[in-house]
Amino acid sequence: MSAKATRIAALTRLAIGLAQGIALFLLQKADESKAWPATAPMLYAPLLVCALTVPLIPLSALSAMRRTALLGWSAVAAALVAILAIHAAWVGATPDRLGAGPLSPPLFIAVAALLFIAHHLIQPAEAAGKPVAPYADYFDLVGTNAVRLFLSLAFTGAFWLLLFLAGALFKLIGVEAIQKLIGETAFAFPATGLMFAAAVHMAVQLTEARAGLVRGVRTVGLVLLAWLLPLMVTIAGGFLATLPFTGLAPLWSTKAAASLLLSAAAALIVLINAAYQDGLEPPNAILRWAARAASLLLIPIVILTAYALWLRIHQYGLTPDRVMATTYLIVATGFTVGYTLAALRSATWMKPLERTNLVMAAVSVLLLIALFTPIADPARLSVASQVKRLESGKVSAEKFDFQFLRFDSGRYGRLALERLRVSRDPEIARLAAKADAANEKAATPANTGPDFAHMAVYPAGKTLPASFRQQDWSLHGADSTCTYTRMRCSALVIDIDGDGTDEVLLASGATFDVFKLSADGWRRVAQASGVCPGADIDAALEAGQVTMSEPTARRDILVGGQRLSVVPAGEGCRAPPPPLRDGLVKLP
């Protein structure tokens, strides 16, 4: 690039950065003062999101794309971003929420990801003059722009650190003008935009002049990352090999199986690409075989993820989190199919992986557009699923989460709530009207029930009664630590009052909450606690060292060397009684 072209590029980037900073300042002041255009969410939202994200396209590609192509792509990107922002504002807007309120962080993250992926599909193709450029061009541009972005953010951060240091130094001698200046948004926004644009220009010049150095550093980093692939293959392989012996129950009991499995799949995909890089030179034989093995391990992991997700959706319907997880699963499935074919059918070093990466990049862009438009909005799909479950009788009106419709699903939920208010079912109509009239979300009951999945039951051979597990703990779990915090507690099933029916004791440390079956469920009727500090209650329970004192005026529980006094609920603390004579039989 000639010196003149370089100066023009520099001035253009600085002008874009300054204009972006001024635009963001004006939008921020409008939102702060509740003035136009902040009073019109459908206008404010696209202006804000476009001003924040779209200028990054000409900043990065100013010297790399033809002017007409760059202007056309920037216009398309602005239109696309505006559509997503308008939809977000429409879904979240309420009469008392104006300005940036309806816009959530996921929208900005999604827009940034969408533009990043789409830009790196478009720029290499435009430079090559054909729809699909050589794969090495895509790989090189992504790595180079990642370095440029890091350098630009670091430079901008260093700029602000120096300003804060200058303000603190001058304040020491009584000059506060600098601190006041950097605290003004009229300075902060334009200065940040200008310095970031300057940093981008310098990063572009540096990476073009030292392209070989940048590629070398990138290659070293990826090679080091790639050598984690054999370890990840060992971990994933060991996990899958252990499942037949442990069964799926421990995995399902985590209630996070799908997210953990998707994380494992993502790690394998990233490490496979770290080993493959641009595909021009095959890596070490160990990495080649590890990449092929990792591609095959993706199959059972994705199948397990799909099964786990299907179970949750079948049992409880869609939620926004499950819609997002389904989207990730679609992407993971696409990579799995492509990588498996590359591992099994390719005579060369997994060459079909390149086509898979490009296709899934385009699919990811389409999925992001769908998720943040009415096509597949997680709130819309979740509301439709949950309301269908309610109206079909799969979930009763008493157990249905009307608060989700009122507060957590935007306009879609509020529209559904309005329809449910005139339901033919009087209970649904009553609860819908009650939720619709609420001004704030009610607190979720704290006592959500014991953690049965990880609960050890003593003595050996005893099991918890089914009625104890299945009762409504939001009604009958009051005053028990185990039911409020879902901490891991032990359970002791034993008859402590001599009536021939076992009670259930939940142990939290050296204290037991005693539950007894009554006409209205299992109720906490007493507490058993000891006075000896440092007693290892869990070890004594595991060893079966549990007995009852002789039936006298009161029976105490003997656990190991510890005597636990049983105090009826509401009686309060009292001094432990004199030791009673132990003529006892140890429980099996």
Same domain, 41 and 67: yes
| Pair 432, 463 in one domain | no
Higher pLDDT, 250 or 266: 266
Lowest mean pLDDT, pick from 21-35, 141-155, 158-172, 438-452: 438-452
427, 532: one domain: no
* Residue 430 and residue 304 share a domain: no
pLDDT in the model for residue 580: 35
- Is 144 found in the same domain as 286? no
Q: Kindly state whether residues 19 and 91 are assigned to the same domain.
A: yes
**pLDDT of 577 strictly over 60:** no
Could you tell me if 199 and 241 lie in one domain? no
Q: Answer whether residue 588 is part of any domain.
A: no
Q: Does some domain include residue 481? A: yes
Mean pLDDT to the nearest integer, 11-24: 97
Q: Please, what is the average pLDDT of the chain?
A: 86
The pLDDT of 60-72, averaged and rounded, is: 94
Structural domain that includes position 282: 223-371
**pLDDT tens digits, 348-397:** 789 999 999 999 999 999 999 999 999 999 999 999 999 999 999 999 99
CA-to-CA distance for 22 and 50, rounded, in angstroms? 13
The two counts, helices (H) then strands (E), for the chain are 23, 8
67 with 203, same domain: the answer is yes
pLDDT for res 146: 93
Structural domains in the chain (count) = 4
Q: What is the mean pLDDT of residues 215-234?
A: 94
Average pLDDT over residues 211-223: 90
Among 228-232, 314-318, 420-424, 584-588, the least confident range:
584-588
Does residue 170 lie in a domain region?
no
Kindly state the average pLDDT of the residues 14-24. Answer: 97
Which is higher by pLDDT, 533 or 306?
Answer: 306
At residue 438, the pLDDT reads 87
Structural contact between residues 483 and 477, judged by C-beta atoms closer than 8 angstroms: yes
pLDDT for res 106 = 87
Average pLDDT rounded to a whole number, residues 564-573:
65
pTM of the model: 0.77
H-run or E-run covering 526: strand 521-529
Q: Are residues 149 and 80 both part of a single domain? A: yes
Which pLDDT does position 561 carry in this prediction?
66
Strand partners, 557: 548, 564
Give the per-residue pLDDT at 238: 97
Q: Is residue 168 part of a domain?
A: no
3-state secondary structure of 262: helix
Co-location of 147 and 277 in the same domain? no
Report the pLDDT averaged over residues 508-531: 78
CB-CB contact of 178 with 170 (8 Å)? yes
Task: Assess whether 234 and 357 both reside in one domain.
Answer: yes
- Asked which of 371, 398, 420 is the last residue of a domain, the reply is 371
Q: How many CA atoms lie within 13 A of 252 on its CB side?
A: 13
Tell me, yes or no, whether 250 lies in a domain.
Answer: yes
Residue 516, pLDDT > 90, answer no
* Domain match, 152 and 271 both: no
Which residue has better confidence, 577 or 275? Answer: 275
What integer is the mean pLDDT of 315-326?
94
The answer as to whether 575 is a domain residue is no
In a domain, 442, yes or no: no
For residues 454 and 506, give the distance between their C-alpha atoms in angstroms, rounded to a whole number.
13
Nearest to 512 by CA among 521, 503, 522, 500: 503
Instruction: Examine residue 378 and state whether it is found in any structural domain, yes or no.
Output: no
Over residues 433-470, the pLDDT tens digits come to 999 998 887 765 555 667 777 788 888 888 888 888 87
